[in-house]
A and B are shown apart, each in its own frame.
Chain A
Amino acid sequence: DVKVTQSSRYLVKRTGEKVFLECVQDMDHENMFWYRQDPGLGLRLIYFSYDVKMKEKGDIPEGYSVSREKKERFSLILESASTNQTSMYLCASRGSVRAGANVLTFGAGSRLTVL
């Protein structure tokens, strides 16, 4: 079974703080994703990465950055947290699309509250 592990389940931060959300997968997947999920808005893609050191913006990248220094690890960074970034953050991974993989495996989620 593919496992996607998000390091923090619950975080409470103050406005202006720098926040790191870490995600690790153990199945050598090429692709990794960060979504945020809000009531009534569903899952929205923030950033994704299709290889080490490669990244692409999703639909709502503003206020976020990412880092992928190793294949198994994909970090989401909030440089200066704001209250409108209070949300559930979900990391996911997927194998190679060229190999036919198109299903996402998600982590358990990180619920971030910014005060």
Chain B
Amino acid sequence: SQKIEQNSEALNIQEGKTATLTCNYTNYSPAYLQWYRQDPGRGPVFLLLIRENEKEKRKERLKVTFDTTLKQSLFHITASQPADSATYLCASRGTGFQKLVFGTGTRLLVSP
């Protein structure tokens, strides 16, 4: 069955460094991947979408890549700040065009 996997271990980095989060998918070829941010006790908030024919997408300090050969998307936050600390979720379309399947998320902690 289709799977989206994210590293369940928290990522700890220092302020100012680049954070890189990984999303791997198996058993299917998604037409796009989405990234969401979730703060504790809140609902996820959409950040970026990248389509299979796009190698890279940027929005301010955020960058997402999509490698269909490696079946992987990387999410980068440059010049990270403590306010970037949150859980980041990867998502893609599941079976049936209506459904969105989520990874379990990776928690990012940015220390001052």
- A43 and B43 CA atoms in complex are apart in Å by 11
What is the CB-to-nearest-CB distance from B21 to chain A, in angstroms, rounded to a whole number? Answer: 14
Say whether A42 contacts B103, CB under 8 Å. yes
What is the CB-to-nearest-CB distance from B29 to chain A, in angstroms, rounded to a whole number? Answer: 16
Given A41-B104, A42-B105, also A103-B44 (CB < 8 A): no
Q: Which stretch of A12-20, A60-68, A79-87, A105-113 is in the interface?
A: A105-113
Chain A: residues with CB nearer than 8 A to chain B?
Answer: 4, 31, 33, 35, 40-43, 45, 48, 50, 56, 58, 90, 92, 97, 102-109, 111
Say whether B99 contacts A109, CB under 8 Å. no
Closest partner residue, chain B, to A58 (CB atom): B99
Query: Knowing that A40-B8, A50-B98 are A-B contacts, what are 14 other residue pairs whose CB atoms are under 8 Å apart, sorted by A's residue number?
Result: A31-B98, A33-B100, A35-B102, A42-B103, A42-B105, A56-B98, A97-B97, A102-B100, A103-B34, A103-B46, A104-B46, A104-B91, A105-B46, A109-B43
- A50 and B97 CA atoms in complex are apart in Å by 11
What is the CB-to-nearest-CB distance from B45 to chain A, in angstroms, rounded to a whole number? Answer: 7
A43 in complex: contacting residue of B41, B46, B89, CB < 8 Å: B89
In the complex, which residues 80-112 of chain B have their Cβ closer than 8 Å to any Cβ of chain A?
89, 91, 93-94, 97-105
Closest partner residue, chain B, to A106 (CB atom): B43
- A31 and B98 CA atoms in complex are apart in Å by 8
Q: Within 8 Å of chain A (Cβ to Cβ): is B49? A: yes
Say whether A102 contacts B105, CB under 8 Å. no
Q: Which residues of B contact A45 (CB under 8 A)?
A: 94, 99-101
Q: Within 8 Å of chain A (Cβ to Cβ): is B42? A: yes
Say whether B43 contacts A108, CB under 8 Å. yes
A106 in complex: contacting residue of B32, B45, B94, B99, CB < 8 Å: B45
